[in-house]
C-alpha cells in the first residue's frame, strides 16, 4: 500500500466494544478475552500519546535553535499516526482469537469499515433452540453510534447531553457544524477581557466581530491573505482561518485536551487571570466549531490542505513567499496541535464554571509600550509581582479612556495589590481583576 494511503487509513478512528448481555456461560471466557484485548489496545495507544508528548517536551527543552516548528511538526505527525486504528485492532483480534470469532454471520462477506457498528460472533456456535443462529459476543460501535442521551438532562441546556455507551459518566454534546460529538466541558484560559466580563457577571466576548479588515485582506504586501475587499462579509471558513492565524479573532478559543496546548514557540499557554471550565451544553450549538479532529478541521477550514499533507510535508514551515495555501497548512498544524474548539461571538455567563480566588490582578495602563517608560515602573521592584503579563497590543477597557498598553501583575491578595498601587501617580488608569480556577462538574471525567 502506498505510504499516503496507509497514513490516511491509520488516521484516528473512534470505536468501542460493547459486550453482549447476557452471553451463554460457555462463551463468557471469550467475551472477557475480547474485552481485555480492547482495553489493552486503548492503554497502549494512550501510553504512546503520552510518550509522544513527553518526547516533544524533552526536545523543546534541549533545543537551542530558537525554532520550535520542526519539533512541533514531528509531534503533530505522531499525533495523527498513533491514534486508534480499527483495521489494526481487527487483525489483532482475529490472530489472538484464531478460529474463535468472526465479524459477520457470513465470514466470506465482511465489511470492516461500517458507519454504525459491527457484531462479533462466536464461531461454530448456535443459540440453543434457534437453528443456524450464531452467538453474539458483543458489538463494535463507531462514531455517533457510541453515544446515548444521559437520563437526567441539565436544566436550561441548549443541547442534549450524551454519554458513551461503553464508558458512561463522561458527558458529550453533539456539534452540528462538524457533525461530531465533543466533550461537554472544555477549558478556557482567561484574558483581561474575560476576567473583567466574568467579574461583572457578563458573557465572555470574542475580541472582534464584523466584516473583512485590513490585516486579513490580500494586498501586494500581504499576498497570503483573503482575496476580498475591505468590508466584505467573510465565509465562516475564512473567519476561522483568520482566527487561527491571528489576523482577526471573531471566536473564543477553548481546549478539549487534558494536556497543555503549546504555542508555535513551544511554550504552554498560561494566564495570570487563571482559567475556567465552559459547559458547551449551555452554548448555542450553532456557534460551536470543533477543530480538534482532522476530519472536522478539514471540513470547517474549507481549504485545500488536508491532515495527510501535514503528515507528508517535509518542511514544518513553507519556504519562500507565503500563499493563502501556506497559511491554511499552518492553520491545520495549529489546530491539530492545540486540540482547539472555538465558539463564535460569545459564551453565555451561565456556561462558565469557575471559582473566584483570593488573588487579584492589578492592571496598569500606559500610553507607551516600552517597559522602562511605563507607569508601572513607578512600583518598586520588590513590590512588582514576578507573575505578570504585558499586552502586545493596546486595549481599551470598557469604561476607560482610550486604548492603552496594559501591564498586569498577579498578587496573592487585594492588600498586596493595593500596597503596590500606592506607588502609582493618581492619574494613571488601573483596574483590579478577579482571578479564577476551573470548576469540574459531574461528567467532566
Q: Is residue 383 part of a domain?
A: yes
My answer on whether 244 and 326 are in the same domain is yes
pLDDT at residue number 8: 42
Q: Confidence class of residue 263 from pLDDT cuts 50, 70 and 90?
A: confident
Residue by residue, DSSP assigns 353-414 as: EEEEEEEEEEEEEES---GGGSGGGGS-GGGS-SSEEE-SS-B--TTSSS-BEEEEEEESSH
Scan for cell 518526547, then name that residue.
55
Residue by residue, DSSP assigns 327-345 as: HHHHHHHHHHHHTEEEEES
pLDDT at residue number 110: 67
What's the farthest any 2 CA atoms get from each other in the chain?
91
My answer on whether 332 and 370 are in the same domain is no
Q: Please determine, for residue 128, whether its predicted confidence score (pLDDT) is greater than 90.
A: no
CA distance 172 to 143: 13
Mean pLDDT over residues 433-437, rounded? 97
Q: Is residue 171 part of a domain?
A: no
My answer on whether 26 and 126 are in the same domain is yes
What number of other Cβ atoms are within 10 A of residue 147's Cβ?
19
CA distance 195 to 417: 16
CA distance 344 to 350: 16
pLDDT at residue number 2: 38
What's the pLDDT tens digit per position in 211-225?
Answer: 999 999 999 999 999
Q: Is residue 163 part of a domain?
A: no
Domain boundary among 322, 351, 380: 351
Please give the DSSP secondary-structure letter assigned to residue 273.
T
Q: How far is CA 212 from its chain centroid?
A: 26
Please give the DSSP secondary-structure letter assigned to residue 245.
T
C-alpha angle 253/254/260, rounded to 5°? Answer: 115
Phi/psi of residue 41, nearest 5 degrees: -60, -45
My answer on whether 114 and 132 are in the same domain is yes
Q: Is residue 416 part of a domain?
A: yes
My answer on whether 387 and 407 are in the same domain is yes
Q: Confidence class of residue 98 from pLDDT cuts 50, 70 and 90?
A: very high
Q: Is residue 329 part of a domain?
A: yes
My answer on whether 125 and 198 are in the same domain is no
My answer on whether 327 and 358 are in the same domain is no
Per the structure block, which three cell numbers stand in for 125? 456456535
Give residues with Cβ within 8 angstroms of 290, minimum separation 6.
175, 177, 178, 180, 182, 256, 296, 300, 341
My answer on whether 56 and 107 are in the same domain is yes
What's the pLDDT tens digit per position in 223-236?
Answer: 999 999 999 999 99
**Number of domains forming the structure of the chain:** 3
Q: Is residue 51 part of a domain?
A: yes
Give this prediction's pTM.
0.90
Mean pLDDT over residues 183-202, rounded? 96
What's the pLDDT tens digit per position in 80-89?
Answer: 888 788 888 9
Measuring CA to CA, which residue among 137, 175, 176, 184 is closest to residue 21?
137
- 375 lies in which domain range? 354-438
Q: Is residue 169 part of a domain?
A: no
Q: Is residue 48 part of a domain?
A: yes
Which has more pLDDT, 274 or 403?
Answer: 274
My answer on whether 314 and 191 are in the same domain is yes
What number of other Cβ atoms are within 10 A of residue 435's Cβ?
22
Task: State the number of CA atoms in the 13 A half-sphere of 58 facing the CB.
Answer: 6
CA distance 343 to 445: 22
- Using alpha carbons, list the distances in angstroms from residue 56 to 12, 264, 332: 20, 13, 18
Domain boundary among 118, 145, 172: 145
CA torsion sign for 238, 309, 113, 78 is: negative
My answer on whether 270 and 282 are in the same domain is yes
Q: Please determine, for residue 133, whether its predicted confidence score (pLDDT) is greater than 50.
A: yes
Q: Please determine, for residue 9, whether its predicted confidence score (pLDDT) is greater than 80.
A: no
What number of other Cβ atoms are within 10 A of residue 441's Cβ?
13
CA distance 53 to 76: 10
My answer on whether 42 and 136 are in the same domain is yes
Domain boundary among 318, 351, 384: 351
- Using alpha carbons, list the distances in angstroms from residue 21 to 18, 25, 35, 122, 144: 9, 11, 13, 14, 21
CATH at residue 400? 3.30.70
Q: Please determine, for residue 167, whether its predicted confidence score (pLDDT) is greater than 60.
A: yes
My answer on whether 90 and 191 are in the same domain is no
Amino acid at each position: 500500500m502506498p505510504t499516503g494511503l496507509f497514513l490516511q487509513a491509520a488516521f484516528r478512528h473512534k470505536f468501542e466494544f460493547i459486550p453482549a448481555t447476557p452471553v451463554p456461560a460457555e462463551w463468557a471466557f471469550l467475551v472477557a478475552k475480547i474485552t481485555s484485548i480492547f482495553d489493552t489496545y486503548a492503554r497502549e495507544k494512550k501510553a504512546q500519546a503520552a510518550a509522544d508528548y513527553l518526547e516533544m517536551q524533552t526536545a523543546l527543552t534541549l533545543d537551542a535553535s530558537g525554532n520550535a516548528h520542526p519539533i512541533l511538526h514531528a509531534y503533530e505527525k505522531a499525533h495523527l499516526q498513533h491514534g486508534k486504528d480499527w483495521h489494526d485492532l481487527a487483525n489483532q483480534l482475529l490472530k489472538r482469537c484464531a478460529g474463535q470469532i468472526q465479524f459477520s454471520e457470513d465470514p466470506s462477506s465482511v465489511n470492516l469499515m461500517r458507519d454504525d457498528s459491527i457484531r462479533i460472533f462466536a464461531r461454530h456456535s448456535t443459540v440453543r433452540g434457534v437453528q443456524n443462529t450464531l452467538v453474539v459476543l458483543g458489538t463494535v460501535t463507531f462514531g455517533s453510534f457510541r453515544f446515548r442521551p444521559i437520563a437526567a438532562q441539565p436544566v436550561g441546556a441548549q443541547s442534549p447531553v450524551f454519554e458513551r455507551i461503553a464508558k458512561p459518566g463522561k458527558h458529550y454534546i453533539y456539534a452540528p457544524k462538524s457533525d461530531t460529538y465533543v466533550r461537554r466541558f472544555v477549558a478556557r484560559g482567561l484574558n483581561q477581557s474575560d476576567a473583567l466580563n466574568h467579574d461583572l457577571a457578563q458573557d465572555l466576548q470574542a475580541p472582534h466581530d464584523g466584516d473583512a479588515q485590513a490585516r486579513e485582506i490580500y494586498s501586494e504586501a500581504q499576498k497570503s491573505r483573503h482575496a476580498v475587499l475591505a468590508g466584505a462579509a467573510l465565509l465562516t471558513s475564512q473567519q476561522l482561518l483568520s482566527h487561527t492565524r491571528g489576523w482577526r479573532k471573531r471566536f473564543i478559543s477553548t481546549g478539549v485536551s487534558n494536556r497543555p496546548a503549546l504555542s508555535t514557540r513551544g511554550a504552554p499557554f498560561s494566564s495570570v487571570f487563571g482559567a475556567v471550565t465552559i459547559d458547551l451544553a449551555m452554548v448555542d450549538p450553532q456557534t460551536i466549531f470543533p477543530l480538534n479532529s482532522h476530519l472536522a478541521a478539514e471540513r470547517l477550514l474549507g481549504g485545500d490542505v488536508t491532515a495527510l499533507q501535514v503528515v507528508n510535508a517535509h518542511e514544518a514551515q513553507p519556504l519562500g513567499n507565503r500563499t493563502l495555501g501556506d497559511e491554511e497548512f499552518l492553520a491545520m498544524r495549529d489546530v491539530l496541535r492545540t486540540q482547539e474548539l472555538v465558539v463564535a461571538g460569545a459564551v453565555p455567563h451561565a456556561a462558565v464554571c469557575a471559582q473566584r480566588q483570593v488573588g487579584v490582578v492589578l492592571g496598569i495602563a500606559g500610553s507607551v509600550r516600552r517597559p522602562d517608560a511605563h507607569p508601572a515602573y513607578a512600583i518598586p521592584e520588590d513590590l512588582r509581582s514576578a507573575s505578570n503579563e504585558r499586552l502586545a497590543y493596546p486595549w481599551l477597557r470598557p469604561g476607560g479612556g482610550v486604548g492603552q498598553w496594559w501591564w498586569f501583575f498577579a498578587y496573592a491578595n487585594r492588600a498586596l495589590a493595593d500596597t503596590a498601587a500606592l506607588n502609582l501617580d493618581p492619574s494613571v488608569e488601573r483596574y483590579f481583576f478577579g482571578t479564577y480556577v476551573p470548576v469540574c462538574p459531574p461528567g467532566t471525567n
